[in-house]
Amino acid sequence: MATVKRSVCPLDCPDTCSLSVTVENDQVTAVRGSDANPLTHGAVCAKVTNYYPEFVHGANRLRHPLKRIGAKGEGKFARISWDEALGLIHDRVRGVIAKHGPQAVLPLNYAGPHGMLAGDSMSLRFFHRLGASLLSRRPLCGGVRGEAYAGTFGATPGTPLQQVSLSKLIIVWGNNATACNLHLMRHINVAKRAGAKLVVIDPKRVKVAEQAHLHLAVLPGTDVVLAWALAVELERLGAIDQAFVQQHVLGFESFMKSAREYPPEVAAGICGVTAEEIRTLARWYHEASPAVIAWGNGLERNQNGGSGLRAIAALPALAGKFGVSGGGLVGGAGNAFPKTGDALARPDLVPPGTRTLNIIDVAGAILDDKLDPPLKALFIYNHNPVIVHPDQNRMKRALAREDVFVVGIEVAMTDSMAYADVVLPACTHFEHADVYAAYGQQYLQRADAVIPPVGESLPNTEIFRRLALRFGYDDAAFKADDPALMDAALDRADPRMKGLRPSELPTDSALRMEYGGEEPVLFGNVLPRTPSGKIELESAVLGARYGSPLPTFRPVTSAFALTLITPASDKRTTSTFGGLAANDATPALEMHPDDAKARGLLQGAWVKVWNDLGEVHLPLEITDAIRRGVVCSEKGAWFKTSRNGQTVSALAPTHKADLSEGACYNDARVEVAAL
């Protein structure tokens, strides 16, 4: 008999929807939206409804521990028992530690599930106790935006997504909202019906841009220049809120000194938009109140990403857009939750002097024979590095090393798992309880398991509990059960928890994070939490950390003429759902008709896209939705979609963004020719 149960979407997406899951005979047969979370309000994306049942129960699901019996990357495995798998891992890792020390071991975890337990909890305790090298908490993506926000406003929440409904002007900047911030669309539509204007800034005429009053097809990586030009034009219009700036803004003069180098006429040439478009947007922004900016992930994936985000964050401060519901900047949602951090991860277990490696550098570190100590054991979990990391071919070479022992912990047989020596089957979030603090909205949620573990799979927490036991760690930190981990993850005493124990949060509703009983409004009921207590356009903290207290601009130089952008697909969340039968079409390469004509390329033809790092073969889609000089293809496709064993990550450079050492996917420069 079918029953409908409640859950929460754990995918790497800002929305964190509440779900209704139909279960028959312990099988997930359908996934829909639920109204438990008022923000997501019963709506979910097609990815989840189309692919989740196959993801949980399909042929690609990992059900048993496996041992590699073929070459690395070949994907040939034999089934083994949990006991044998844990024993093998223990013996091989102990051998590595005996020869090279514990820092020769590295966890390679990223953004698979966003539940606080499955994400990283018992796993971190295990690696901290082991003395493994630390993976920097700075992620491939997302970290740049977080650092830019925190540097400007501190750890305070920004405008909640639902307040967009109240805005009179909405600027969607670098945010392909229909594909990767679905619920923003509902609030944009409400606001538009009430007469709001919509402006979209994106190199591509993405779906949300089709309904915009103004679309600025900015060149990737030049957002900082565009934001500076808007600041200059606001100043020319007399639209700077001098009283607000004087009282609440630090670094106004130094910020404007940089900005004044880029008036609209100068910026237009750099950004690939017209000066008139910049002036129009500045005027609209000045005139509208409330006016809100909803930025997205697209902004950060370049070497000027942090500067672009900081300069954009400055605009509502300059124009006096804070202090009202529906104004300001949709951001900083992660700051809305009373997370404890240390109580969950237990950094006190880390031996002093343990080194930290950046995630982008992992492949290079594995291949570096001079690294002391070398990396000789790797645990890959919640991550598909060969598909996701910049310079894919380097990552393939790294994982193919026979002298590096690779443990994979995963739900499905991904392209990265094919390189593992031992694969441990992990539960999906439908098979264990977890708590969810979103990064794009401000409702806290909890979900119970809706089905038992599939096959012999185990929740990440239990896998690392068993590993800890096998390694002889029997202190209390490793005996904590999942409810205890939930209670460690969030501060129950914080007023936002309303006296609720995290592990006992009701699953049929979502807890709105409130400040004095209300949603946060910056300069209403919440204030910046920077060192100065002001909005910091000039940040000593960021200056000390990254060398420049102010936003900067460095153009990318390359012999390759075209900029390749690789935004999210509406079929996968990063690479999740990539291995499914229904999802194995090769993504197209979108190119402007003028660029195609200049190269003699025809609609539908297969083309090679290449640079110094790799070559990818894709079918060509000629469309004026993408601006001249830029080509576009979706990220996250698996090797089964590829004719030559490379996907778009093979073309992404490994240099780092100006903040948070983030990945610069959109700095890929390529050339395209007929195959």
Measured N-to-C along each axis, helices 305-318 and 252-259 cross at an angle, to the nearest 10 degrees, of 120
Tokens 């709105």 belong to: 512
Q: Given the complex with ligand SF4, which of 181 and 258 has the nearer CB atom?
A: 181
- Strands, DSSP E only, in 566-661? 589-591, 606-610, 615-622, 630-632
Q: Given the complex with ligand SF4, which of 163 and 569 has the nearer CB atom?
A: 569
Binder of ligand SF4 out of 5, 6, 15, 564 (CB under 6 A):
15
**Who's near 448: CB < 8 A, 6+ residues apart?**
5, 6, 7, 433, 507
Cα 145 to chain centroid, rounded = 10
How is residue 135 annotated by DSSP? E
* Stretch of 9-17, 89-97, 310-318, 453-461 lying at the interface with ligand SF4 (CB under 6 A): 9-17
As measured in angstroms, the least distance from the Cβ of 488 to ligand SF4 is 25
Q: Given the complex with ligand SF4, which of 50 and 289 has the nearer CB atom?
A: 50
Q: Which two tokens stand for residue 216?
A: 């600025």
The b-or-e profile of 319-344 (16+ CB within 10 A means b, else e) is bbbbbbbbbbbbbbbbbbbbbbeeeb
Amino acid 374 reads P
Q: Given the complex with ligand SF4, which of 29 and 552 has the nearer CB atom?
A: 29
**Who's near 269: CB < 8 A, 6+ residues apart?**
none
**Interface mask (CB under 6 A) for ligand SF4, residues 126-165, using x and -?**
----------------------------------------
Is residue 16 close enough to count as binding ligand SF4 by CB under 6 A?
Answer: yes
Binder of ligand SF4 out of 5, 6, 17, 215 (CB under 6 A):
17
Alpha carbon distances (Å) from 496 to 165, 491, 492, 517: 24, 9, 8, 9
**Interface mask (CB under 6 A) for ligand SF4, residues 517-556, using x and -?**
----------------------------------------
As measured in angstroms, the least distance from the Cβ of 111 to ligand SF4 is 12
* Residues forming a β-bridge with 529: 154
Q: Given the complex with ligand SF4, which of 20 and 647 has the nearer CB atom?
A: 20
Q: Given the complex with ligand SF4, which of 40 and 539 has the nearer CB atom?
A: 40
d(CA 644, CA 639) in angstroms, rounded, equals 8
As measured in angstroms, the least distance from the Cβ of 484 to ligand SF4 is 27
As measured in angstroms, the least distance from the Cβ of 566 to ligand SF4 is 18
Maximum Cα–Cα distance across the chain: 72
Tell which positions 19-58 bind ligand SF4, by CB under 6 A: 44-45, 47-48
Q: Given the complex with ligand SF4, which of 9 and 273 has the nearer CB atom?
A: 9
* Stretch of 15-23, 185-193, 339-347, 605-613 lying at the interface with ligand SF4 (CB under 6 A): 15-23
Binder of ligand SF4 out of 6, 11, 432, 468 (CB under 6 A):
11
As measured in angstroms, the least distance from the Cβ of 573 to ligand SF4 is 5
Amino acid 243 reads A
Tell which positions 180-219 bind ligand SF4, by CB under 6 A: 182
As measured in angstroms, the least distance from the Cβ of 576 to ligand SF4 is 9
* Stretch of 12-20, 132-140, 327-335, 347-355 lying at the interface with ligand SF4 (CB under 6 A): 12-20
Q: State the virtual CA torsion across 299, 305, 307, 311 in degrees, nearest 10.
A: 0
Q: Given the complex with ligand SF4, which of 48 and 199 has the nearer CB atom?
A: 48
Q: Given the complex with ligand SF4, which of 128 and 635 has the nearer CB atom?
A: 635
Cis ω for the linkage preceding 263 (within 30 of 0): no
SS (H, E, C) 335-390: HHCCECCHHHHCHHHCCCCCCEECHHHHHHHHHCCCCCCCCCEEEEECCCHHHHCC
* Stretch of 14-22, 99-107, 273-281, 616-624 lying at the interface with ligand SF4 (CB under 6 A): 14-22
Q: How many CA atoms lie within 13 A of 327 on its CB side?
A: 21
**Who's near 152: CB < 8 A, 6+ residues apart?**
310, 313, 314, 528, 530, 535, 536, 537, 539
As measured in angstroms, the least distance from the Cβ of 113 to ligand SF4 is 11
Tokens 């409702």 belong to: 443
Q: Given the complex with ligand SF4, which of 15 and 120 has the nearer CB atom?
A: 15
d(CA 430, CA 373) in angstroms, rounded, equals 39
Tell which positions 560-599 bind ligand SF4, by CB under 6 A: 573
Number of amino acids touching ligand SF4 (CB under 6 A):
12
Residues forming contacts to ligand SF4 in the complex (CB under 6 A) are: 9, 11, 13, 15-17, 44-45, 47-48, 182, 573
